[in-house]
Amino acid sequence: MGAAVALAEKKGRGLHELTTQDYKSIDPAFDNNVHALFDLKKALSLRNIPGAPSPDEVQRQIGRWKKTLEIS
């Protein structure tokens, strides 16, 4: 991914703003799904282990702390 960061910096864009062709110029294995890498909701939802930032885990921790601190 270092090559993508270098290209984004060179073009003055964020990684999510590079085109599929930009990514293919780095490695032809990239396809039209490359932009799914930058879907924050999807990325967070996949991090569903204790202490991770998934929405379900965050809600579980909020509930646990509310109970611990007796906040309603």
Convert the pLDDT of each residue in 25-48 to its tens digit: 999 999 999 998 888 888 888 888
Please tell me whether the overall predicted TM-score, pTM, comes out greater than 0.85 for this model. Answer: no
Which residue has 């204790």 as its token pair? Answer: 50
Q: What does the mean pLDDT of the chain come to?
A: 89
DSSP structural state of residue 30: -
Mean pLDDT of 11-37: 93
Which residue has 């396809």 as its token pair? Answer: 31
> What span, in angstroms and rounded, lies between the C-alpha atoms of 7 and 44?
25
Mean pLDDT of 51-58: 86
Q: Are 23 and 4 in contact (CB under 8 A)?
A: yes
